[in-house]
Structure 1
Amino acid sequence: MSGAVFETSLGRVAGVAAGGVVHVPRLRYALPPTGARRFALPEPVTAREDISGARTPGPVPLQLPSRLAKVMGSYPAAPDEDCLHLDIWVPEGASGAPVFVFLHGGAYMTGGGSLPCYEGAALAARTGMVVVNVSYRLGVMGFLPLPGLAPANLGLHDQVAALRFIRREIGAFGGNAANITLAGQSAGGFSIAALLSMGEAAARPLFDRAVLLSAPMGMSLQGPEAREAPAAAFLDALGLAPGDRAGLEAVSAEALMAAQGAVLRARSAAADDVTPPFMPVIDGTLITRDPVAALLGGAAAWCPVIAGTTREEHAAFYYGDAAVAAAAPELLARRLEEAWPGDAGALARLRARRPGADALALLIDVTSELRFQRGTRAFLEAQVAAGGAAWAYSFDWQSPDPGIAACHCIELPFLFANTDTWAEAPMLRGAERAGLDGLATAFGDALAGFARTGTPQDGTPLAWPGYGPGGAVMHFDRFTSCSAAA
């Protein structure tokens, strides 16, 4: 390995070169949110010493163990409050390259751009894109408004700060600052919906195109008052009085995470409710309206988009959950009524599409429809109706474990083309390597084509028409195919 140096407006930044790609880890885009900056809006970096990180992988934000490790696997990374940083992978010799920025998922509670499973070297090397991963505050640190102590949506403010930094500095890393594609999966995808809801004047300076992967578009946001009970429980778990800023700054990171765990344990929800307790809110400043409602009103028409879901999103959440499996018949009846009120034929139609399926499999289908798929289709339809450009996909490749199926997050190894890293993840374990590589090329190259020119057909053999009448959807499996929407 050897080093490489990039000249930013704040001074020189070093990276590590290997395999035709230079990795710049732990590049700060905002000052550390610690001490007096804990639970405060991100402050821009202004000097060379501010952005200088280390030539080793950065930490992930403070977090508890991921609830989806049971399908995704676990990946080593140290948690740290000093987490407002980027990981950048630059193809050697890049100049004016398209920029692909990734916002990770994790229910606004887990994840991080420095996790090995999101390593962007292979994607950058094969496609020629500059790949950038963003880490942002999570859980109570990023998505729990505390009256008089913490503004709402700190994690989203972090994302905005990161995107402003990228637009300003990415040219120093061989990227084209006028060609930035923002991609996000799950919570990252919904974050893009929230950013798009700000309107063209606010969002266009941040990015030029968007890819929403498995965004939970069946979700609607509430105001900060909806978080008053969790906020009170959090402060109570810390033994702090409302408004105790000094106390909040003084408690340890371990105490913060213990208090977050207490909030999670105190939460009362249905057995199959996976909605995160920490999430954006309509704060009247950054987010002024429900993101999904805004997108259905055409707020994103200015921005070309790709949006899609996996075939069985909710299999990831229900896998190995004995309580959900036992309650599946009752839960299925509730979700059918929620999805198709008063429609006595809904269950028969579901069964016709999946002959022999048990109640759990049907529950996965209808809940995936409610929480992910229906809202994504509605967004695409609204986007096209408002004159915007859109492409739709369904990721149908199925895990060798039938209980995992084509679950939430299963597209990620194929996006980053780092299937070796994911090889022992339960959702990939036992899969044939040859098939993985071919699908990774098809999926990643389509998104790279979109990043280059605004169409996923650019430089690929895929016949992927834009979404429009008939609802063309590209299906990614062992073999890709395009069909009308179901």
Structure 2
Amino acid sequence: MSGGPVLRSGPLRYATARRFGLPRPVSERERTPPHALICPQLPSRLDAVMGPPRDRIPQDEDCLQLSVTAPGTGGGGHPVVVWFHGGGFSSGSGLCAWYDAGRLAAEGGLVVVSVNYRLGALGYLVLDGVSEGNLGLYDQVAALCWVQDHIAAYGGDPGNVTVVGQSAGALSAVLLMRMPMARGLFRRVVLQSAPLAIAARPVRDAAETGRVFADHLRRIGAADPRTAPVAALLAVQARTAADHRERTGSTLEPPFTPVTGVPALPGTGLDPGVRGTDVFYGWNADDMSAFPPGRDDPAEVCERTRLGYREPLARLAAELRRAGARTHAYRLDWRPPGTRLGATHCVELPLLLGQERAWYQAPMLGSTPWPEIAALGRAVRGAWISFVRTGTPGPLPAPLTDPYAGALPDAPLTTTGPFRGPHSAA
């Protein structure tokens, strides 16, 4: 496939929901909102890595929106990618310019659907009488159902859907493989830097966080989260996050995440429908340089990345293979010049998505000129496109490497080198 024009549609409403309510499908009349909106949120903790978003999209609870990018050649039957953004279940948007899918759609002949879902307390609060949690996951299932029902009108094949997620979006994809209600909605999965240790927590733990949130809300005179102003919810969410960091000692785990032990996600095992699914998973060599070490963490970036990404992902891959899925792995080793972050969390994103203007002066890109990023990106996109179209990424091009080269897939992994990021011990 080669680059060319693309057709863009959206924003489109894929569902609607009352605060703390389940998403419901929308009629054709409701499908086109007056303008783009994203879930209310606080600034991202990764602004120091990615830079703040250069586009400022208004925030509102009427945020269950998506966009569709399709090859400009038209026609039908194109493979479909559904993109779930990262942001620690607390920030981000599928409509953000970072995730513009023009290059991926044009080069791969793919229809790309980029999805908003509810975040923070609005998406993952667990509180008696208010919410059992996992509303963001319900939103993602609703988006996948929308794809099944409507993507053919945009040239996509609803029988050939690949879920691609990064960070929290990748964690969401893992959980979708554990949810019976998501069975049959996709056939392939790409997991980019999924920090599996924070994928989900037991509902009883999340309920305690919910009680802390409710206590803070009462202290500022907004007792009912169902009617409190959005600004109050966000202010209290920030206080709850600070409490959570103090209690857990973790700089990685957000206070509001998906939970297990509820009807949508009753356990932690893979759904039987995962048999036959193709999964392409991996991490960046210095993923943890984006996060300072927590209270009980090693100081070295390479060791934290091994413990936080490489080993948990290897265990997940083994679980997937036992369940009958097919797996392929990658590691991204690109360390842009001019930054001490190395091959950090999110550094693969501009290689896959977004235009130059969206990534202008992103700290993680250092002094790398855009033509170099574009050339590397074309190679990386080629692997993603091959996987989406065939179920295998093919031979991995630089800066991707096979982390299992010369070893059995389930063998322990070695470190990638003595990289010492900005948060390492001197």
Fold agreement, TM-score > 0.5 = yes
Q: Which residue of 1 aligns with 2:236?
A: 259
Correspondence for 1:313: 287
2:12 is aligned to 27
Paired with 2:388 and 2:249, the residues of 1 have a C-alpha distance of: 40
Aligned length: 405
Aligned residue in 2 for 1:51? 31
Give the superposition deviation at 1:459: 12
C-alpha deviation, 1:458, in angstroms: 9.3
Cα deviation, residue 366, structure 1: 1.6
Aligned-residue offset at 1:50: 1.4
Deviation at 1:462, TM superposition (A): 11
Distance of 1:462 and 1:302 partners within structure 2? 29
Which of 412, 416, 420 matches 2:349? 412
d(CA) in 1 for partners of 2:195 and 2:352? 19
Q: Separation in 1 of the partners of 2:206 and 2:132? A: 12
2:144 pairs, out of 140, 163, 182, with 163
1:393-412 CA distances to partner (integer Å, 9 max, x unpaired)? 00111132442111111111
User: Contact between 1:219 and 1:371, CA under 8 Å: does it hold in 2?
Assistant: no
Q: Is the 8 A contact 2:274 2:324 kept in 1?
A: no
Give the Cα separation in 1 of the matches to 2:109 and 2:159: 16
Contact 1:472/1:485 (8 A) holds in 2? no
5 Å-filtered alignment, 1:38-187, equals 38-45=19-26, 47-54=27-34, 58-75=36-53, 76-92=56-72, 93-187=74-168
Q: Is the 8 A contact 1:314 1:407 kept in 2?
A: yes
CA contact (8 A) 2:200 2:258 kept: yes
Aligned pairs for 1:302-451 (under 5 A) are 302-318=276-292, 334-335=296-297, 360=299, 362=300, 364-416=301-353, 418-451=355-388
2:211 is matched with which residue: 232, 248, 261?
A: 232
Aligned partners of 2:167 and 2:390: how far apart in 1? 25
Contact 1:384/1:467 (<8 A) preserved: no
In structure 2, relative to structure 1, the CA distance for the partners of 1:459 and 1:140 (3 Å cut) is closer
Q: Distance in 2 between matches of 1:300 and 1:406?
A: 31
TM superposition shift of 1:442: 1.2
CA distance in 2 between partners of 1:186 and 1:461 (Å):
22
Which amino acid in the other structure matches residue 262 of structure 1?
Answer: R
* 8 A Cα contact 2:171 2:199, kept in partner: no
Q: How far did 1:419 drift? A: 4.0
Cα offset, 1:269, TM superposition: 4.1
Instruction: Measure the CA separation in 1 of the matches of 2:325 and 2:404.
Output: 10
Structure 1 pair 420–195 and aligned structure 2 pair: CA distance change class (3 A): same
> Which of 251, 260, 266 is equivalent to 1:273?
251
Provide the C-alpha distance between the structure 1 equivalents of 2:179 and 2:212, rounded to a whole number of angstroms. Answer: 31
Conserved in 2, the CA contact under 8 Å of 1:26 and 1:85? yes
- When the two chains are superposed, the root-mean-square deviation of aligned CA atoms in Å is 3.0
- Tell me how far apart the structure 2 counterparts of residues 220 and 109 of structure 1 sit (CA, whole Å): 13
Distance 1:389 1:149, change over 3 A: same
Percent of pairs identical after alignment? 34
Distance in 2 (CA, whole Å) between partners of 1:85 and 1:25 is 8
Structure 2 CA distance for partners of 1:220 and 1:464, relative to 1, 3 Å = closer
The alpha-carbon deviation at position 448 of structure 1 amounts to 1.1
Provide the rounded CA distance (Å) in 1 between the counterparts of 2:323 and 2:15. Answer: 36
Counterpart secondary structure, 2:277: coil
- Mapped partners of 2:38, 2:107: distance in 1: 26
Relative distance call for 1:212 and 1:471 in structure 2 (3 A) is: farther
The DSSP-based 3-state class of the residue aligned with 2:260 is: coil
Q: Is the 8 A contact 1:391 1:467 kept in 2?
A: no
- Residue equivalent to 1:481: none
Amino acid at match of 2:10: P
Check the 8 A contact 2:126/2:206 in 1, yes or no: yes
Q: Distance in 1 between matches of 2:392 and 2:184?
A: 21
SS of equivalent to 2:368: coil
For the residue of structure 1 that corresponds to 2:113, the secondary structure is strand
Q: Aligned residue for 2:266?
A: 288
Amino acid at match of 2:28: R
Q: From the superposition, tell whether residues 186 and 369 of structure 1 become closer, same or farther in structure 2 (CA, over 3 Å).
A: same
Alignment-derived partner of residue 8 in structure 1: none
CA contact (8 A) 2:37 2:58 kept: yes
Q: Specify the alignment match of 1:10 in structure 2.
A: none
Gaps of 5+ in 1: 1-18, 319-323, 337-359, 474-483
| C-alpha distance in structure 2 between counterparts of 1:269 and 1:115, whole Å | 33
Partners of 1:40 and 1:151 within 8 A in 2? no
Q: Tell me how far 1:283 sits from its aligned partner.
A: 3.1
Q: Which runs of 4+ in 1 moved over 6 A?
A: 458-469
Determine the C-alpha separation between the residues in 2 that align with 1:44 and 1:140.
22
* Alpha-carbon distance, 1:274 to partner: 1.5
